[in-house]
Chain A
Amino acid sequence: MASGVKPRVKVPKKASAGDVITIKTLISHKMESGQRKDGDGNVIPRSIINRFVADFNGENVIDVTLEPAISTNPYFQFDATVPETGEFHFTWYDDDGDVYETKKKITVS
């Protein structure tokens, strides 16, 4: 695992069926763009989160392709419709092959 990479998500705990809820997600990741050079003039290779996926009870909510122009600590805010009680599954894919995940439950009445 790349060091210090930690996901955080903000999902409401409760909602009514069919509600549109707002979700915020963040992952602490440097997002090394591949444009910077080190002290000796060598290019620091690109190393970024290149994909973010949010699913709910197995159905996709959003699937984002990230490029180096996404800021350090990639942040996304988006909406989701929640038809029933269930669990959000958030996944981030790193250039180096690591995969970071977190889940959040929501109770729908």
Chain B
Amino acid sequence: MGIKLISFVSALVFAGSAYAQDSNQLNVEGELFVSTTAAPSHMENVDTLYSGWHFRSGETQALQLDDFDNPGMVFVDQGIDLFAKVDGSEGKSCQSCHEDVEDFAGLRTQLPRVEDGQLVSMENLVNDCRTERMGAEAWKWSSTNMTAVTGLIGLQSRGMPMNVKIDGDAAPFWEAGKELYYTRVGQLDMSCSNCHEDNYGVMIRADHLSQGQINGFPAYRLKNAKLNSIHNRFKGCMSNIRATPFKEGGKEFKALELYIASRGEGLAVETPSVRN
């Protein structure tokens, strides 16, 4: 019943393929990025993956093509400063151990992943270092400090294809995330899939629905003129469905992050991407 109602509403409210994703090429600083690719086999209902970049207006797309024009880079700059800043009782900065931030190339493509039986996101890795090795306070999951540093680290993997592990010890977390993705929640009784799988490419009022990919996070959003974390975005989506959002950094969002990351397999990391 719920599904029929949504389809009926879709027919009325959503425009047709006139607003489907474009076929522009994502050329960042002269390098062509994979922004569309065949969907991985575990996705039964989607054939082709499209980066969120394809669903934005021409002007927004242009902002991501040049590192000076990219408004997210201001925050990556802040990340560079934070990376070198001594913080905590041990008198260390990130740089004291991680001499060259470029050594993080590839990390963004693998996260979240299982370590010692726990699923960890990049924010966990940063805070583990801070609390256990720097003697510093943990940063809040979506704070400006955290997004600046995850933005910097994510940038080191820019251009590399997303490739998270979903089998072996990751399997139970992946299954949990998949179930969440297809579960209806909230007063509007909608699941992630209702918009991002069934209706990507069409307009929801004035917004152009994407596939909900996370290969560009933390993302600079025009909406709040700053970098936004993955979990913060999940939280916003759930609030829009009038559901009580799960906790940022909690097990639900981490499982969901793993599942959604796997739905982007093969897309190039675009951090810091520019989105609405």
Contact = CB atoms under 8 A, between A and B. Distances in A.
Interface of A: 4, 6, 8, 10, 24, 26, 28, 71-73, 75
B74 A6 contact: yes
A24 B74 contact: no
Given A72-B225, A73-B225, A6 B77 contact: yes
A24 B225 contact: no
A80 to B, nearest CB: 16
A8 B69 contact: no
B182 interface: no
A34 B77 CA distance: 27
A58 B68 CA distance: 26
Given A24-B69, A26-B68, A73-B71, A8 B225 contact: no
Nearest to A27: B74
Contacts of B68: 8, 10, 24, 26
Chain B, interface residues (CB within 8 Å), range: under 10
A8 B78 contact: no
Nearest to B222: A71
Contacts of B225: 71-73
A67 B71 CA distance: 20
B152 to A, nearest CB: 15
B12 to A, nearest CB: 35
Given A72-B225, A73-B225, A28 B74 contact: yes
Contacts of B71: 73, 75
A24 B71 CA distance: 13
Nearest to B67: A10
A3 to B, nearest CB: 11
A72 B74 CA distance: 11
Nearest to A24: B68
Contacts of A4: 78
A10 B73 CA distance: 13
Contacts of A73: 71, 74, 225
Interface string B53-74: 0000000000000001101001
A44 to B, nearest CB: 15
A26 B71 CA distance: 9
A4 B77 CA distance: 11
14 contacts: A6-B74, A6-B77, A8-B68, A8-B74, A8-B77, A10-B68, A24-B68, A26-B68, A28-B78, A73-B71, A73-B74, A73-B225, A75-B69, A75-B71
